[in-house]
Structure 1
Amino acid sequence: MSCYDDLELRARVGKGDFTALFEAIEHEQALRGNLWRFCPARAFGRAEPGDQKGMEPPFPPEGEPRPEPRTPWEPPPLGPAAPSLAGRWRRLFAGIFDIVIVAIISSPLVWTSWHIVKHPQTGTVTLVDVTHTYLASIVGFLYYWLFHAYWKGQTPGKKIFGMRVVRENGERIGVGQAAVRQLTEVVLAWLCCLWIIDLGWIVVDARKQALHDKTAGTLVVDA
């Protein structure tokens, strides 16, 4: 609508007053310019589905809930603001740091005993030294399990190098989950050379998971 009604505009133009016509055109252009800021489609006369009379603001008033997006969208496994996966080299250095701590703590629990072994055919007697590491293994299990379960998924090594263990959905790791993770790592370490495969899996896996991570459903991410 212009600032003049149709009858008045025609009467003034018929009398040769083109000023009214120019004012009406400028007024119409100003209206279209204001409308363009809210909805370009309406500025050219194209109606949007569900449009009602009058212009609608681009956003709801302050305090009103925002409309849901029209296109379904699913966030990535760790959410839209998820931390990145921890680097392989940092994981290696953090692991070496923790191994040194475990070795220092468990060293008093490691001892060597001598056993006399007699050869059944030749009858020769030999002294064989046997290193006992069972208690040291228990100390190592408790070290990793308790720190991961009760210290936000971090051991001292992971804390220093800025990483932590979480569930695959990004939530904090649970007590049972931490126990399964560490028990799997201990069993694989005792079974010949499987610990090499366990840790080497980090290099080829897309999410940098070791086998004990896949068993427990965990990830190592930046803290």
Structure 2
Amino acid sequence: MQTSPQAIFFDVNETLLDLQPVKESVAAALGGSKELVPLWFTTLLQYSLVSTVGGRYADFGSIATAALQMVARQQGMEFSEAAAKAAVKPVRSLPPHPEVPAALERLNAAGFLLYTLTNSAADALEDQMTHSGLKGYFAGRLSVDGVQKFKPHRDVYTWAAEQVGADPKDCLLVAAHGWDVAGAGWAGMQTAFIARPGQVTYPLADAPDHTFPDLDRLADALTMR
């Protein structure tokens, strides 16, 4: 790490919460085709960026629903918006990865101010934090709803730093996605990549300040300063 961060921002989906339940639900909706789940998630991210670049914001859940309908149509399947919404609904009630609560507790005890910074809509974020039991660990819960753009747009990270009264260089972004770490680094934040299974960093971005296999190791690094 460069300096001890004034604020630590956490991505939520996949970084803090396990996406397996929604992956299973989406696969079931697509006729049991687990191999189509990455295509759905990639399509979701693609069209969140289309929304951002085009200046036509829609919340992440709506884009997730539309992306699922698109993937289904590509496979010759058709189902309603209501059916697609039902398939992605488990994203609101995901469990935390096993080490997450204890790691956040350790960071709180060490005096760090923790915040979420997620592409999830604000109402979905509240459901996620309540269901996962993580709400109490965070000094604030930020959603891109507040800036009407999606990560990794630079404006999201500068906006987040402004919300907590800090300079981006004094903030740490913790994420399990290479695109998120890249965006935060380009915006001037310190970065920590959580190497969840299957996740890699972007070769054309600066290397993260640190890479950890999980949040336990992040907590070790920060609390042993």
Q: TM-score, normalising length from structure 2?
A: 0.25
Structure number with higher relative contact order (C-alpha < 8 Å, ≥ 6 residues apart): 2
Q: TM-score, normalising length from structure 1?
A: 0.25
